[in-house]
Structure 1
């Protein structure tokens, strides 16, 4: 599959030069500019190369660990259904966890309740670190 990297590179340059004012917290779901990526790495999906992500860990004011979401129902060890988020089905793609700068965060969608977030965190630990 041929990918169009040039439009994303232009968008990435703009993002790099922003002030990165997103105030984010763990458990929140945000639209995040993941971009156009290499191989099987998860891409952003709309004209701004964004997709929803859950903030797993806030390291400081500027960076966090996120897990991308998809609206497609997926089954398997590295997919966890989160039910509906903002009226759409949401599945976390555990194999695509990544570190991002807050400049990539566009708009907050919602905050996961504590029980759902705990279930997600436990699933990540089990699927990635335990055999």
Structure 2
């Protein structure tokens, strides 16, 4: 049953994964067997953001990074992979809406105020590094 749910999650997130693979074009592709995600080191999106503003992002079952990710950031990105499996094609629109909402409620750092980012930070044990959560305490 667990395998069926996992396969359904991957299938439900497939449109996001295709977009993630496109965003990682030009990077070095590998497979994280334990977490069942593609890892792409580099690529055109990572290069366009540069190392200063970008360490990693997850679209579908694809984690794209511009450098080796710390364990904390990698766990955070894996929560986004889970979100993609749960939300399927709704993941990307909800992510964009979440960022818009985040900048409305917390203009200093709308990224951290996005509901999906708050979820990922809490679930990955990174809530202490979330500017929005720290500002509310």
Give the TM-score normalised by structure 2. 0.24
Give the TM-score normalised by structure 1. 0.25
Greater RCO structure (CA 8 Å; 6+ sep): 1
Greater strand fraction, Structure 1 or Structure 2: 1
